Copies of this chain bind each other. A is one copy, B any other.
Amino acid sequence: MSDQITDMDVFFNPKSIAIIGASDTFKFGYTMTKYLLESNFKTYPVNINKDVIFGHKMFKNINDIPDDIELVIVVVNNEHVLQIVKDSVKKGVKGIIIETAGFAETGIEKFVKIQEEIELIAKNSNVRIIGPNCVGVTNFNNKFTTTEIDFNQSIEGGTISIIAQSGVLGNIFVEWSASQKIGFSKTITLGNKVDVDEIDMLEYLEKDENTNVITLYLEGVKRGPKLIEILRKLTKPVLILKNGRSEIGSKAIKSHTGSIAGDDKIYDAIFKQYSGIYRVNNFYEMFDIAQVFATQPLPKGKNIAIITSSGSLGILACDEIERLGLKLAVLNESTIQEMKSISPNWTSLKNPVDLGPSLFMTFNKSLKAILNDENVDALLHIFAVPQKPLETFSIPITPHLKEMRNLSTKLNKPIITCVFGSRWVLEYFLKHSHKYKIPIMTQISHAIKTFRFMYDFSKSNKNMNTDIEI
């Protein structure tokens, strides 16, 4: 037990696993079963209908397995789940992930009852249960997963963890992290939460040394006061997406995971009251903001500089800066003169610094001048360049990313790059940005909101940075 940080650890680092309902035909659970059986995780397949699967002996029942089992993953039909939970408790397992759907969320009395019985078993035994109606967890640190993801493809990890409810999204997050270089540490889906809930996982992630930023998607909450208590104590930044703001949204939650949304106004007030807790509006915003917390230093003040290749987008950013109570940095005259000495006469060098197409000659020097200006606390870099000339001139973007990384680290100032245009430009940046840890996003409003949240976090008691506010 000494290497476990909480009893949640069994879900992320199980020493032995049984998959109940394991299958080698194309159905739910297939990809996970194949992956785990072929991995180094000690995995036993259980299915009453077959003898061998992917070259592994199949067991009829978990109690036939001649070994201790720490974690059970359940993907059988909803009708059989209760018996399997009973068998697992008898076997002495530590954790069960019930992925099967079709319980309280159906509203059908029979299935609501089964869920209640499972809940009771969890309460009266030492077993911890995740689900039902979820896809469990993925641990990017040891490549353990109970989702439908093939971890053999290269997926770079990171320090962001997410707690969510939905099964479908749990699979998509992992894929997304690979394509968008989000850099996850753990993804967790909790489904109907008969036992393990967001509070257990928040406690786990607070202690998890691979997690620096926590993102939380909430539908309903069963232990409200306890959630408030833990949120207050957390030292890591938490981004919360809370569904069911509306009356019709709340009703829909009931048929999704059988939870009660609760009064949104109360949640909103609580989230606003605690520093380090930030509410976001959708998943895109959530991950855009999280990746900056995960990779960039906190700003020491509110003064934002903008370097852009499009004047119009620079102005859109100004509107957001004012709307969110930040300031447009006033550049020193010497900074402007430094840029003027290397720029064509038609460029606009007051903040927002609009380099237009001269960008490729003057970017790195302008960047250096701006970031060295003590009136600048953070930089928004807006990249809007048509593909054709960029390809024609074969202009590489890595020198820009490299210099941003160098200066950001050296001067301890956060940088965000917003790209604008067709999808090629995002691909083009994502190919390199992860290496240099420069966060890439497509929405200027997300970037400015990020700076606001980071500034607030830097001023909160949760942060050791105690520089004086300007």
From B174, B176, B318, contact of A252 by CB (8 A): B318
Q: Annotate A305-337 by CB proximity to B: 1 below 8 A, 0 otherwise.
A: 000011111111011011100001000000000
Residues of B within 8 A of A247 (CB): 322
Residues of B within 8 A of A443 (CB): 282, 284
From B245, B316, B445, contact of A323 by CB (8 A): B245
Say yes or no: B426 contacts A316, CB within 8 Å. Answer: no
Closest to A427 in B: B423
Partner-contacting stretch, out of A12-20, A164-172, A368-376: A164-172
Closest to A133 in B: B346
Taking the closest CB of chain B, its distance from the CB of A6, in whole angstroms, is: 26
In the complex, A420 has a CB within 8 A of chain B: yes
In the complex, A78 has a CB within 8 A of chain B: yes
Residues of B within 8 A of A169 (CB): 310, 312-313, 384, 420
From B174, B180, B392, contact of A30 by CB (8 A): B392
Taking the closest CB of chain B, its distance from the CB of A387, in whole angstroms, is: 5
Q: Which of A349-388 contact B (CB under 8 A)?
A: 350, 352, 354, 356-357, 384-388
Q: How far is the CA of A270 from the CA of B204 in the complex (A)?
A: 53
Say yes or no: A318 contacts B348, CB within 8 Å. Answer: no
Residues of B within 8 A of A389 (CB): 30-31, 148
State the number of copies, please: 2
In the complex, A399 has a CB within 8 A of chain B: no
Say yes or no: A421 contacts B310, CB within 8 Å. Answer: no
Q: Annotate A137-161 by CB proximity to B: 1 below 8 A, 0 otherwise.
A: 0000000000011100000000000
Q: Annotate A415-446 by CB proximity to B: 1 below 8 A, 0 otherwise.
A: 00000111110110000000000000011110
Say yes or no: B311 contacts A420, CB within 8 Å. Answer: no
With contact pairs A311-B257, A348-B255, A444-B282 given, residues A246 and B386 touching in the complex (Cβ less than 8 Å): no
From B26, B167, B393, contact of A26 by CB (8 A): B393
In the complex, A95 has a CB within 8 A of chain B: no
Say yes or no: B309 contacts A168, CB within 8 Å. Answer: yes
Say yes or no: A168 contacts B386, CB within 8 Å. Answer: yes
Closest to A28 in B: B357
Say yes or no: B282 contacts A445, CB within 8 Å. Answer: yes
Partner-contacting stretch, out of A36-44, A47-55, A59-67, A100-108: A100-108
Closest to A426 in B: B423
Residues of B within 8 A of A164 (CB): 312
With contact pairs A219-B312, A312-B166 given, residues A319 and B423 touching in the complex (Cβ less than 8 Å): no
In the complex, A243 has a CB within 8 A of chain B: yes
Say yes or no: B26 contacts A392, CB within 8 Å. Answer: yes
Say yes or no: A283 contacts B420, CB within 8 Å. Answer: yes
In the complex, A341 has a CB within 8 A of chain B: no
Say yes or no: B442 contacts A284, CB within 8 Å. Answer: yes
With contact pairs A245-B319, A315-B249 given, residues A424 and B179 touching in the complex (Cβ less than 8 Å): yes
Residues of B within 8 A of A309 (CB): 168
Say yes or no: B244 contacts A319, CB within 8 Å. Answer: yes
In the complex, A256 has a CB within 8 A of chain B: yes
Residues of B within 8 A of A108 (CB): 345
In the complex, A175 has a CB within 8 A of chain B: yes
With contact pairs A245-B323, A257-B311 given, residues A388 and B148 touching in the complex (Cβ less than 8 Å): yes
A sample of 22 cross-chain residue pairs with beta-carbon separation below 8 angstroms, ordered by A number, consists of A26-B392, A101-B356, A167-B356, A168-B357, A169-B313, A172-B310, A172-B420, A172-B421, A172-B422, A175-B424, A179-B422, A243-B319, A244-B319, A246-B319, A246-B321, A248-B318, A248-B322, A249-B316, A252-B315, A252-B318, A252-B352, A282-B316
Q: Which 9 A-B pairs have the closest CB atoms?
A: A102-B346, A246-B322, A179-B422, A256-B311, A171-B386, A249-B318, A166-B312, A249-B319, A168-B310
* A contact residues vs B (CB 8 Å cutoff): 26, 28, 30-31, 78, 101-102, 105-106, 108, 111, 148-150, 164-169, 171-172, 174-176, 178-180, 217, 219, 243-249, 251-253, 255-257, 281-284, 309-316, 318-319, 321-323, 328, 344-346, 348, 350, 352, 354, 356-357, 384-389, 392-393, 420-424, 426-427, 442-445
